Amino acid sequence: MSDLSSLPHDVQQKLKTGPEAVKQNKLLPAEVAAVMYDHPKKCIWTKKSMHAELEDPPTPETVRKKLNDLVEIGLCKSEPANRGDIYWWDYPETDYPKPPDVEVEQSKLTVNELFQLNHIGLAVLSVVGITVGVIPLFMAIFGIAGVVPLPISPGTLLNYSLIYLLICYAVFIGAITAGVIDKFLPEDVSIDW
């Protein structure tokens, strides 16, 4: 049986490593996990490569079953490849095998950082403007219909409302265009507002 002490504590808790499990199985999923974890330079495993790495290996089908057990537990991930499956350790920071010399950076924007982007703030401001601009538009329509008395001409209010809404829509389309341009520009080119 392999030395399972190299496995992280949370992994050891997920796997059965007690004496009763050892008696019942020739190969424990914990042993397969220990081999994967102890060889970080080998990112991708197949049934055959794991079979070759194990001490006193059982049948390749048993090795495949133990690898699939690790996938079910959530310690490994797998995908079909060629006429079999490939397996890799499930690193939380990436969905794919992670080479040992690579650090994966996770970049998540907070809501505050998102609104600090000029085109996002401009788009939100224009949506608020459109929402507010609808009120005088309806007032003008009701004024033309004679339902609501207005202190100014309903036609004038209608004109001002439509001009205001057109400006808000233009700003909104400009913000979307700036966001698309900013997204697809190369990293070394930036648009300063």
Please choose, from the candidates 48, 91, 52, 14, the residue with its C-alpha nearest in 3D space to the C-alpha of residue 4. 14
- The predicted pLDDT at position 39 comes to 78
Q: What confidence tens digit (pLDDT) does each residue in 31-90 have? A: 888 888 787 778 788 888 888 888 777 888 888 898 888 889 888 888 888 788 888 888
Residues 160-192: tens digit of each pLDDT:
999 999 999 999 999 998 888 877 776 655 555
pLDDT tens readout for residues 113-129: 666 678 888 898 899 99
CB 86 within 8 A of CB 46: yes
The per-residue pLDDT for 36 is 83
Domain spans in the chain, listed from the N-terminal domain onward: 4-89, 111-184
Indicate the fold that domain 4-89 takes in CATH: Arc Repressor Mutant, subunit A (1.10.10)
Q: By the 8 A CB rule, do 161 and 137 touch? A: yes
> What pLDDT does residue 180 have?
84
